[in-house]
Amino acid sequence: MQQANTFKNYIWLMGRRIRAHRCQALSKRSKLQCKNAALREKHVCRFHGGKSKGPLTIDGKKRCADVKTIHGRETREKRKIRSKKFIEMKLLASLLK
Ligand SMILES: [Zn+2]
Protein backbone atom coordinates (compact mmCIF):
# COMPACT_ATOMS: atom_id res chain seq x y z
CA MET A 1 0.00 0.00 0.00
CA GLN A 2 1.43 3.34 -1.02
CA GLN A 3 1.36 6.16 1.47
CA ALA A 4 -0.12 9.50 0.44
CA ASN A 5 2.67 11.89 -0.43
CA THR A 6 2.37 14.72 2.06
CA PHE A 7 5.38 16.94 1.54
CA LYS A 8 6.92 18.37 4.71
CA ASN A 9 9.47 21.17 5.04
CA TYR A 10 10.68 20.31 8.54
CA ILE A 11 11.62 17.20 10.47
CA TRP A 12 11.87 16.78 14.24
CA LEU A 13 14.98 15.06 15.58
CA MET A 14 16.10 13.80 19.03
CA GLY A 15 12.58 13.27 20.33
CA ARG A 16 11.15 16.60 19.10
CA ARG A 17 14.01 18.60 20.62
CA ILE A 18 15.60 19.70 17.32
CA ARG A 19 13.69 20.98 14.30
CA ALA A 20 15.62 20.76 11.04
CA HIS A 21 14.86 21.32 7.37
CA ARG A 22 13.79 18.08 5.75
CA CYS A 23 15.38 16.77 2.57
CA GLN A 24 13.20 17.78 -0.41
CA ALA A 25 14.24 14.86 -2.63
CA LEU A 26 11.91 12.07 -3.69
CA SER A 27 12.76 8.39 -3.59
CA LYS A 28 13.17 6.86 -7.04
CA ARG A 29 11.52 3.60 -6.01
CA SER A 30 8.71 4.56 -3.63
CA LYS A 31 8.18 8.18 -4.85
CA LEU A 32 8.04 9.31 -1.23
CA GLN A 33 9.92 12.22 0.32
CA CYS A 34 13.34 11.43 1.78
CA LYS A 35 13.15 11.10 5.57
CA ASN A 36 16.59 12.59 6.30
CA ALA A 37 17.32 16.08 7.55
CA ALA A 38 18.73 18.44 4.93
CA LEU A 39 22.24 19.78 5.34
CA ARG A 40 22.66 23.25 6.82
CA GLU A 41 21.64 26.00 4.35
CA LYS A 42 20.69 23.32 1.78
CA HIS A 43 17.45 21.72 0.65
CA VAL A 44 18.72 18.16 0.35
CA CYS A 45 20.62 15.63 2.43
CA ARG A 46 24.12 14.30 1.67
CA PHE A 47 22.70 11.33 -0.25
CA HIS A 48 20.70 13.56 -2.60
CA GLY A 49 23.48 15.93 -3.62
CA GLY A 50 23.68 18.24 -0.59
CA LYS A 51 27.47 17.85 -0.45
CA SER A 52 27.86 18.72 -4.13
CA LYS A 53 29.66 21.98 -4.88
CA GLY A 54 28.52 22.00 -8.49
CA PRO A 55 30.86 22.28 -11.45
CA LEU A 56 34.29 23.64 -10.40
CA THR A 57 36.49 23.59 -13.48
CA ILE A 58 35.91 25.86 -16.47
CA ASP A 59 35.42 22.78 -18.65
CA GLY A 60 32.84 21.38 -16.21
CA LYS A 61 30.95 24.69 -16.06
CA LYS A 62 30.87 24.85 -19.85
CA ARG A 63 29.57 21.28 -20.05
CA CYS A 64 26.84 22.12 -17.52
CA ALA A 65 25.83 25.27 -19.45
CA ASP A 66 25.71 23.29 -22.72
CA VAL A 67 23.36 20.75 -21.18
CA LYS A 68 21.09 23.47 -19.72
CA THR A 69 20.92 25.49 -22.96
CA ILE A 70 17.75 24.63 -24.86
CA HIS A 71 18.21 26.56 -28.12
CA GLY A 72 20.08 29.83 -27.42
CA ARG A 73 17.81 31.94 -29.64
CA GLU A 74 16.53 33.92 -26.64
CA THR A 75 19.31 35.39 -24.49
CA ARG A 76 19.51 38.30 -22.05
CA GLU A 77 21.62 40.28 -24.52
CA LYS A 78 19.10 39.77 -27.31
CA ARG A 79 16.25 40.80 -25.01
CA LYS A 80 18.15 43.96 -24.05
CA ILE A 81 18.73 44.86 -27.72
CA ARG A 82 15.08 44.16 -28.53
CA SER A 83 13.80 46.37 -25.69
CA LYS A 84 16.13 49.22 -26.84
CA LYS A 85 14.83 48.90 -30.39
CA PHE A 86 11.24 48.82 -29.12
CA ILE A 87 11.80 52.09 -27.22
CA GLU A 88 13.31 53.61 -30.40
CA MET A 89 10.31 52.45 -32.41
CA LYS A 90 7.86 53.99 -29.89
CA LEU A 91 9.78 57.27 -30.02
CA LEU A 92 9.59 57.32 -33.82
CA ALA A 93 5.90 56.46 -33.75
CA SER A 94 5.24 59.33 -31.33
CA LEU A 95 7.07 61.73 -33.70
CA LEU A 96 4.76 60.74 -36.58
CA LYS A 97 1.62 61.75 -34.69
ZN1 LIG B 1 17.59 13.00 1.03
What integer pLDDT is reported at residue 48 of this predicted model? 95
Please state the φ and ψ torsions of residue 96, each to the nearest 5 degrees.
-70, -25
Element (H, E) at 96: helix 76-96
Q: pTM of the full predicted structure? A: 0.57
C-alpha span between 25 and 38 (Å, rounded) = 9
Cα 76 to chain centroid distance, Å, stands at 19
So where are the chain's domains? 1-52, 53-97
What separation in Å is there between the alpha carbon of 26 and the centre of ligand 1?
7
What separation in Å is there between the alpha carbon of 35 and the centre of ligand 1?
7
DSSP state of 12: E
What separation in Å is there between the alpha carbon of 79 and the centre of ligand 1?
38
Kindly give the confidence (pLDDT) of every residue in the chain, 97 residues in length, as a single tens digit, with 9 standing for 90 and above: 455 667 899 999 999 999 999 999 999 999 899 999 999 999 999 999 999 999 999 999 999 999 998 888 888 999 999 999 999 999 999 999 8
